[in-house]
């Protein structure tokens, strides 16, 4: 373990300053259960601190958020049991996004569907995968597995990869979801390579984007003001394809010099109340916010 102090999973310190609509959904969270019961995957690139269903319930009570989507993080490989643990604690207001591989059977997928999983995640970003051939192959395999179920494929990657698979996304028979603003870098501006491709996929209705994890794209804490033009551009492209999420408990999955994969990576201390209060800046219209927080997640995740 590292010697630095661990903050644990953050709780909001700022009150929400607008009316959050009923049945609002946080579309991107993770549960890190007790490692004794939910062991981490040996091939992981970081080791997060715990984040429990109880802590998540407290977060969402403070944010006036009723529904949640729990996403299996890379640290568990293809073991989705920690996510399921969180979903069961939450009941009918939870859905899940799983990680699978070639060994995952159709019977296992059937069981996941019954448990509330509605999509699978391909995480290219955390492992640093930037080869378009790898991205195209993994995306194609995922679509093939999902097309008979109508599940979506969620991808955590970067804008250059989105450009490289744009044609596959446009032709895919299943919904596509890009994590965390499509992995853009705020400092590079609206003209950065790939952002126009992302906008095009959103505009055509072929892809959803999670306006989540702003702190992964911007260094301008705590309000990430340089994310405003990107959020507004994505919403303007197609408000029916935008969903919102906290990315709680804010794992630090990045490469840190001298930190081994087995060292505890302290969770980022992010004020999710302050983050949620950016939504009215990004989407001043209450009807648009209802689409982003309620209607779009209900359609995508089957609430």
Backbone angles phi, psi at 210, to 5 degrees: -85, 115
The pLDDT assigned to 253 comes to 87
Pairing of strands 242-244, 152-156: unpaired
Number of H helices, E strands in the chain: 13, 10
173: number of Cβ within 10 Å? 10
The pLDDT assigned to 2 comes to 34
∠ at Cα 119 (117, 125), nearest 5°? 125
> What is the residue whose two structure tokens read 């919403």?
235
Q: Is 116 exposed, middle or buried (0-12, 13-18, 19+ CB in 10 A)?
A: buried
Report yes or no: 303 and 94 within 8 Å, Cβ to Cβ. no
Backbone angles phi, psi at 180, to 5 degrees: 45, 60
Backbone angles phi, psi at 158, to 5 degrees: -120, 165
- Cα separation, 174 vs 154, in Å, equals 10
> What is the residue whose two structure tokens read 């070639």?
102
> What is the residue whose two structure tokens read 């507004």?
232
* Helical residues (DSSP H) of the chain, grouped into ranges: 53-63, 81-90, 106-115, 132-146, 159-164, 166-171, 195-203, 214-217, 228-237, 272-276, 279-282, 286-290, 296-301
Domain regions of the chain by residue span:
25-301
CA dihedral 171, 138, 177, 159 (to 10 degrees): -90
From first to last of the 303 residues of the chain, give the pLDDT tens digit: 333 446 789 999 999 999 999 999 999 999 999 999 999 999 999 999 999 999 999 999 999 999 999 999 999 999 999 999 999 999 999 999 999 999 999 999 999 999 999 999 998 887 888 888 999 999 999 999 999 999 999 999 999 999 999 999 999 999 999 999 999 999 999 999 999 999 999 999 999 999 999 999 999 999 999 999 999 999 999 999 999 999 999 999 888 999 999 999 999 999 999 999 999 999 999 999 999 999 999 999 999
147: tokens are: 């097309």
Query: 25-301 architecture in CATH?
Result: Alpha-Beta Barrel (3.20)
- Cα separation, 72 vs 81, in Å, equals 9
**273 three-class SS:** helix
270: tokens are: 């992010």
């Amino acid at each position: 373990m590292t010697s630095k102090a661990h903050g644990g999973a953050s709780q909001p310190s700022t009150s929400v300053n607008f009316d959050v609509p009923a049945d609002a959904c946080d579309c991107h969270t993770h549960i890190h259960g007790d490692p004794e019961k939910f062991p981490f995957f040996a091939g992981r690139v970081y080791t997060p601190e715990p984040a429990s269903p109880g802590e998540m319930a407290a977060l969402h009570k403070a944010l006036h958020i009723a529904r949640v989507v729990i996403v299996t993080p890379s640290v568990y490989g293809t073991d989705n049991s920690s996510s399921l643990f969180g979903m069961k604690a939450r009941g009918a207001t939870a859905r899940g996004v799983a990680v699978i591989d070639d060994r995952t059977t159709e019977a296992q997928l059937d069981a996941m569907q019954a448990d509330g999983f509605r999509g699978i995640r391909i995480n290219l970003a955390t492992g640093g995968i930037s080869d378009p051939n790898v991205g195209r192959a993994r995306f194609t395999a995922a679509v093939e597995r999902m097309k008979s179920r109508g599940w979506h494929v969620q991808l955590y990657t970067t804008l250059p990869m989105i450009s490289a698979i744009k044609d596959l996304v446009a032709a895919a028979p299943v919904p596509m979801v890009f994590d965390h603003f499509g992995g853009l870098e705020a400092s590079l501006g609206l003209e950065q390579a790939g952002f126009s491709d992302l906008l095009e996929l959103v505009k055509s209705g072929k892809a959803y984007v999670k306006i989540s994890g702003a702190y992964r794209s911007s260094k301008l804490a705590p309000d990430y003001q340089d994310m405003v033009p990107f959020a507004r551009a994505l919403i303007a492209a197609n408000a029916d394809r935008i969903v919102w999420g906290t990315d709680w408990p804010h794992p630090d999955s990045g490469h840190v010099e001298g930190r081994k994969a087995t060292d505890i990576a302290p969770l980022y201390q992010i004020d999710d109340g302050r983050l949620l209060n950016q939504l009215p800046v990004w989407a001043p219209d209450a009807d648009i916010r209802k689409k982003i927080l309620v209607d779009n997640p209900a359609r995508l995740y089957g609430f």
